[in-house]
Amino acid sequence: MATLQKFLSSCLLGTLAASCLLLVALWVQGGAAAPLGSHCRLNESDFQQPYIINRTFKLADEASLADNNTDVRLIGEKLFHGVNVRQHCYLMKQVLNFTLEEVLLPYSDRFQPYMQEVVSFLAGLSNKLSQCHIEGDDQHVQKNVQNLKDTVKKLGESGDIKAIGELNLLFMQLKNACIG
């Protein structure tokens, strides 16, 4: 600490100008990166509501009873392959967006009474992640998300059912990825 103070006062006196510029540059970079990442975050309390957890898991249970294709797993290890752990929340944000828009909304009059409540819960989480972006290389994220979308589309209705049957996994992975 004493060394840092000494260093900083040398900065102010201009005696170590070059090093100071470097230090300030690193500092600013760190400062700018922090708020960006902080939007890719959910609150632990978002995942601690027993009622909606129960509803989500029941909905998933019901759909997986109708899912007879056991060879394909949408939300598994492959989804994260090559993706930096710091990008996991952003990746799950993309999966959540797809699931809501392309899978759940078209099914909104099935799997009642669970569907409606689960959709509003997930839409709330999606809304909280609306400012979550990543900078730089998101090639693996896009590729893996696209793979998941293609798989669901290719399976047709049974792909949708499978995605609904994996809502428990979606819930768990969002929680893992977005609680910092």
Ligand X SMILES: *[C@@H]1O[C@H](CO)[C@@H](O)[C@H](O)[C@H]1NC(C)=O
* Positions that interact with ligand X (CB under 6 A): 43, 45, 54, 57-58, 68-69, 97, 100-101, 123, 126
Minimum CB separation of residue 48 from ligand X in Å reads 9
Minimum CB separation of residue 30 from ligand X in Å reads 20
80 vs 114, which CB is nearer to ligand X?
Answer: 114
Minimum CB separation of residue 89 from ligand X in Å reads 14
Minimum CB separation of residue 33 from ligand X in Å reads 18
75 vs 95, which CB is nearer to ligand X?
Answer: 95
d(CA 138, CA 132) in angstroms, rounded, equals 13
79 vs 161, which CB is nearer to ligand X?
Answer: 161
Minimum CB separation of residue 141 from ligand X in Å reads 14
- DSSP letters for 80-134: GTT--GGGHHHHHHHHHHHIIIIIIGGGTTSSTTHHHHHHHHHHHHHHHTTT---
d(CA 67, CA 149) in angstroms, rounded, equals 17
Which among 141, 66, 71 has a CA at the least distance from the CA of 107? Answer: 66
Residue with tokens 């009622």: 51
Which among 180, 177, 103, 102 has a CA at the least distance from the CA of 141? Answer: 177
23 vs 53, which CB is nearer to ligand X?
Answer: 53
**Residue 75 DSSP class:** S
82 vs 180, which CB is nearer to ligand X?
Answer: 180
Maximum separation of any 2 CA atoms in the chain, in Å = 73
